[in-house]
């Protein structure tokens, strides 16, 4: 992504559209990313090339404000909240990227300092031909859009029933600056057994849990998760895109097999 500047005490959601560099359908078997300090998260979205905005010469666009600001969301092949991150897919598994799709890189930066920050971000992709993998992976993104965080200390809980069997290879939680802890657990539809899945006690660089071998859950199993907050603003906070003035309670992961490589998105 082209380098850009974040002004003092500012929050930016920047996007850049990049033409497909592969020219054919591929299966991504590894991604690795880096982000400058101050980043809250980054997506590598997949969008139809006809929906992308490129430079007059057909090259990448300039980095600019995202069309949907912090609510920019599309199918994606990489999502991270860490300065350096990577994901490696099991043998015979990959993430689909079609030759007809462009890439929209999206980053969220929060600069709380009195000085401007020059920042950048990048994703490296290792891939094979689309037909060289036996199963496709995808992302699951569950968000608590109904979230309301009262003043003081509180915990808000959500539950989502998985629509299909999933073999998870990665988990992470997502909160904003009043978040103090994130907990997730699974409840079996078959016998009611509850097992812990994930926990994190930081909002800006939350723990990311990797599974090898994958962690299996069945269709109908409940994915339960909760976010705890310490809200000292003097007012209730609603779900929103700003890490400074709103809150979030989201759960995301990477799983396989995924029909057609489609992501699963849940709204609670």
Where do the CATH 2.60.120.310 domains begin and end in the chain? 4-133
Q: Considering only 24-28, 131-135, 192-196, 203-207, which range has the smallest mean pLDDT?
A: 203-207
Pseudo-torsion of CA 104, 84, 88, 79, nearest 10°?
Answer: -40
pLDDT above 90: residue 205:
no
pTM of the model: 0.93
Where do the CATH 2.60.120.230 domains begin and end in the chain? 139-267
Confidence of residue 38 (pLDDT cuts 50, 70, 90): confident
d(CA 264, CA 146): 18
User: What average pLDDT does the chain have?
Assistant: 95
Q: Which residues contact 83 (CB under 8 A, 6 or more apart)?
A: 34, 35, 36, 37, 39, 205
Segment 47-76 shows an average pLDDT of: 94
pLDDT above 90: residue 214:
yes
d(CA 141, CA 75): 10
Question: CATH for 4-133, among 1.10.150.530, 1.20.120.400, 2.60.120.310, 3.40.50.720?
Answer: 2.60.120.310
Confidence of residue 70 (pLDDT cuts 50, 70, 90): confident
Antiparallel, parallel or unpaired: β 237-238 and 148-149: antiparallel
Confidence of residue 81 (pLDDT cuts 50, 70, 90): very high
Q: Considering only 10-14, 90-94, 120-124, 206-210, which range has the smallest mean pLDDT?
A: 206-210
% of the chain beyond a pLDDT of 90? 93
Q: In CATH, what number does 139-267 get?
A: 2.60.120.230
Confidence of residue 244 (pLDDT cuts 50, 70, 90): confident
């Amino acid at each position: 992504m082209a380098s850009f500047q974040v002004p003092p005490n500012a929050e930016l959601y920047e996007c850049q559209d990049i033409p497909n560099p592969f020219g054919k359908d591929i299966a991504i078997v590894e991604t690795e990313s880096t982000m400058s300090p101050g980043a809250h998260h980054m997506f590598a979205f997949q969008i139809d090339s006809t929906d992308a905005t490129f430079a007059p010469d057909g090259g990448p666009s300039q980095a600019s404000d995202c069309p949907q600001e912090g609510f920019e969301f599309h199918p994606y092949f990489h999502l991270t909240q860490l300065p350096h991150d990577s994901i490696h897919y099991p043998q015979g598994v990959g993430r689909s990227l079609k030759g007809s799709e462009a890439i929209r890189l999206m980053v969220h930066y929060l600069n709380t300092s009195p000085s401007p920050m020059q920042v950048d971000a990048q994703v490296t992709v290792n891939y094979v031909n689309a037909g060289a993998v036996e199963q496709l992976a995808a992302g699951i993104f569950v968000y608590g859009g109904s979230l309301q965080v009262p003043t003081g200390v509180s915990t808000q809980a959500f539950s989502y029933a998985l629509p299909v069997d999933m073999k998870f290879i990665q988990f992470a939680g997502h909160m904003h600056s009043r978040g103090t802890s994130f907990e997730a657990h699974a409840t079996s539809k078959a016998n009611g057994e509850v097992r812990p899945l994930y926990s994190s006690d930081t909002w800006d660089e939350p723990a990311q849990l990797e599974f090898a071998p994958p962690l299996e859950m069945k269709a109908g199993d409940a994915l339960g998760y909760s976010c705890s907050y310490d809200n000292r603003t003097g007012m209730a906070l609603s779900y929103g895109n700003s890490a400074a003035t709103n809150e979030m309670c989201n759960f995301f992961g990477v799983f396989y097999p995924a029909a057609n490589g489609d992501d699963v998105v849940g709204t609670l």
